[in-house]
Chains A and B, each alone.
Chain A
Amino acid sequence: MKWIKFVIAGFYFGFILIKSEAISWYRIVEMFHFQSFHMFGIIGSAVGVGAISVLVIKKLNQSVFKTQPIDLTKKPFQLKAHLLGGLIFGLGWSLVGACPGPLFVHLGAGNTIILIPVLFVILGTYFYGRFKDSLPH
């Protein structure tokens, strides 16, 4: 039963993602052409709410959750990896018109053609694992 909450959280995330239209290929193409505020509004307000809730949790960590604080550690800072990896990821995001979350939404929606980019995502993941040590981080 302790696992069911993760399925519910994924369902919640997907539900809102679909209602926001961030899963639409058209919205991504529109965003990268700067033809609408829609996507920027979603990302901006999501981060705003996320940041405020993290601040609240930080306060709660000092009082209510003293014995078992919520883990708020950031990912390790790697300038080159974040920038270069980010550039490559962004290129892929624009060419597919979907990032990883929406890729799974397309699969659930029955857009079987998306199996092709998904297989290539797995291949790209393999390449990173294989050549990780020779890349600047």
Chain B
Amino acid sequence: MEKLMEVIQNPWPWYVSGPLLGMTVPLLLLSSNKKFGVSSVFRHVGCALNWKKIEYFNYDLKNHIWNLLFIVGLIFSAVFLLQWVEVKQGVLSDAAQLYFNSRSILIEGILPISRFTWTFGKEILMISFGGLCIGFGSRYANGCTSGHAITGLSLLSLGSLIAVIGFFIGGVLGTFLILDSIL
């Protein structure tokens, strides 16, 4: 039992967690003939909010309930592991630690909450603009990291490969041109 708690408490190396993450694809395909992706749930929010004047949000939500339930499970896993069990995070690379130290960012849990506070500032502007890009971009590209990088690449989809290349070019540009000068 103690051993089990230890396994749940400590982070898992990428060569264990990565393959297990990939198993989500066959899990959903075999159990329910569904291909998983997270970002489409935001479209369903628009549908639920009755933005029916826009054709894009005008469809029967009933066919997508499974997607919403998947998110419920996802949120519950976070409540369980991060609020009840309070799992530990692994050690970042030396280069990353040096980077965060140089910007006096405390390494605490999964988000530097002392930096991202409910006070108006450039950090809030950055994550607001970032959120806008995530919403717009994931719908424009027709998928996000889960739908394109994990599911799409597993299906050997060329379109998903192009999208993922776009993700990384956009991400590197955002990091070096914007994030670095704001943090």
Contact = CB atoms under 8 A, between A and B. Distances in A.
A91 B26 contact: no
Given A105-B77, A121-B134, A46 B179 contact: no
Contacts of A22: 17, 21
A74 interface: yes
Interface string B11-51: 11011011111111111111111011011011101100001
| Interface SS of B by simple majority | helix
A100 B134 contact: yes
B71 interface: yes
A42 B74 CA distance: 18
Interface in B50-71: 51, 54, 56-57, 65-67, 69-71
A interface: dominant SS: helix
A109 to B, nearest CB: 4
A45 to B, nearest CB: 3
Contacts of A21: 11, 17, 89-90, 110
A43 B14 CA distance: 9
Contact of A88 (B78, B99, B137): B137
A44 B112 CA distance: 27
A72 interface: yes
Interface of A: 3, 5-27, 29-30, 32-33, 35-39, 41-51, 53-54, 56-57, 70-72, 74-79, 81-97, 99-101, 103-111, 113-114, 116-130, 132, 135
